[in-house]
Amino acid sequence: MASVWRRFQTGRWWWRLPAKGLIVAVTVFLVSFPNPVLFGRHVQRWRHPDQLIDPDAPELAAMRAELEPKLAEVAHGQPALKVVERYVYQKVPYAHDWETWGAADFIPTVGEALAMGREDCDGRAVVSASLLRSLGYNARLVTDFTHVWVKTDRGEAMHPGPMKKAVESRDDGLAIDWGQLANLPRSLSYGCAVFPLGRELIVLVVIVLMSIRPGMSGGRWFAATAMLVGGLLGVRYAARNPWEPVLWGQWLGWGMMLVGLVMMAMRAKPQPSHSFVQNESMVEQDA
């Protein structure tokens, strides 16, 4: 096994590097989506998320019956949106998708969300938007890549505050504000912060195995591994609150991981062969 690993690590770069990249990519995918079927559904649904809003879903009938007396006591618009928001939060407790679906991310239908009984922001937004449409609101799903909420013709529900929408669902697909792509690093950092640490360590181990070079000293291996683990923990700590992230901490964490990878990938110092060492010893003895 050791000889196979050494041949792999010292092979031609034009096949070795793509092979390593493929191994890391497959690991990340399987850690994030152990069930690839869910990944396919997730991607397909995000192509047309407006189709998930179903005001006629039979599961909503009882919910509308409970909501209508409460809505009769408040004005239309934002006050009514707040009532629906609180109601959905109560009926659908928050849970991350890996707790509910075993996946890094998954956007459900109304029936799936209510059947599971718990969801994260996208599932709650689908239920809320469906309820609001059944009540006469023109509801749409919007996201800033970190959070999903509901936009209507009379205000917004489940909006976290200062976040700006990057993607809005439409009848014909998605409307994307390309200027908001700058939010992706923040979203990635938050994803790392809340994803199970055990799964992330699996990816980290594979990256280390793909990055180390034959002949690397134990000291450099330990330092590089420490940088990778420390950087990951730093990102998790700095990005744990998506509304008040510690930006410098996130960049420091990513920087530490980059330094660790560079240290792993650096060519090891060539080791003298046994015959060369033996010859050197004989010369010293003759002298």
**Residue-wise pLDDT tens digits, 26-79:** 999 999 999 999 999 999 999 999 999 999 999 999 999 999 999 999 998 999
For residue 252, what are its two tokens?
A: 């420091």
- Which pLDDT does position 272 carry in this prediction? 52
Interior/surface letters 53-75, b for 16+ CB within 10 angstroms, e for the rest? bbbebebbeebeeebeeebeeee
Work out whether the CA dihedral 133, 136, 137, 140 comes out positive or negative.
positive
For residue 69, what are its two tokens?
A: 């007396």
**Which are the contacts of 168, defined by CB distance < 8 A and separation ≥ 6?**
140, 141, 142, 151, 174, 175
- Which pLDDT does position 115 carry in this prediction? 97
CA–CA distance from 84 to each of 29, 57, 63, 245 (Å)?
Answer: 36, 16, 10, 29
pLDDT tens for 133-175 read: 999 999 999 999 999 999 999 999 998 777 789 999 988 889 9
Q: Confirm if 165 and 159 have CB atoms less than 8 A apart.
A: no
Mean pLDDT, the chain, integer:
90
Q: In what order do the strands lie in the sheet with 173-176?
A: 155-157, 148-152, 140-143, 167-170, 173-176
Confidence of residue 270 (pLDDT cuts 50, 70, 90): low
Candidates 192, 185, 225, 230; CA nearest to 208 is 225
Which pTM was predicted?
A: 0.89
Stretch(es) of the chain classified as CATH 3.10.620.30: 40-176
pLDDT of residue 2 exceeding 80: no
Q: Confirm if 228 and 204 have CB atoms less than 8 A apart.
A: yes
The CATH architecture assigned to 40-176 reads: Roll (3.10)
DSSP-assigned beta bridge partners for residue 49? none
Percent of the chain predicted with pLDDT > 90: 77
- Which pLDDT does position 214 carry in this prediction? 77
Token pair 């023109």: residue: 138
What would the mean pLDDT of 227-240 be, rounded to a whole number? 97
